[in-house]
A = this chain, B = another copy of it.
């Protein structure tokens, strides 16, 4: 879980350093992308080269999570609330039984929603 205590620790960390003015939604969005790429870097040349160890990936994931927590704050969002809301909508879009019975159809619908024509999907 991510507890309210942890969120309070992050707020205090930022406030003690006077860093709030830099934490606009846009700067935090940039920061999340930047840290996500550092996490991805653990797997840059995998599988041809072994990935970095899990401890390093956990460290980078922690950075992504920290900025996500700060972003939720900046947007006045409750993380549990927005995640459950999105999960429910996605569950309705891709009902469990339909996905299990017709997996290819779910995949095709996913790509169609992104503007990818069925021909582009390799089989």
Contact = CB atoms under 8 A, between A and B. Distances in A.
Contacts of A120: 52-53, 55-56
Interface in A78-123: 79-80, 82-87, 90-91, 94, 96, 99-100, 103, 106-107, 111, 113-116, 119-123
Interface residues of A, number: 89
Copies of this chain present:
4
20 contacts: A1-B1, A1-B7, A6-B84, A13-B90, A13-B91, A17-B94, A17-B106, A21-B48, A26-B51, A27-B46, A29-B40, A30-B40, A32-B36, A33-B39, A51-B122, A53-B120, A54-B75, A57-B75, A61-B75, A65-B68
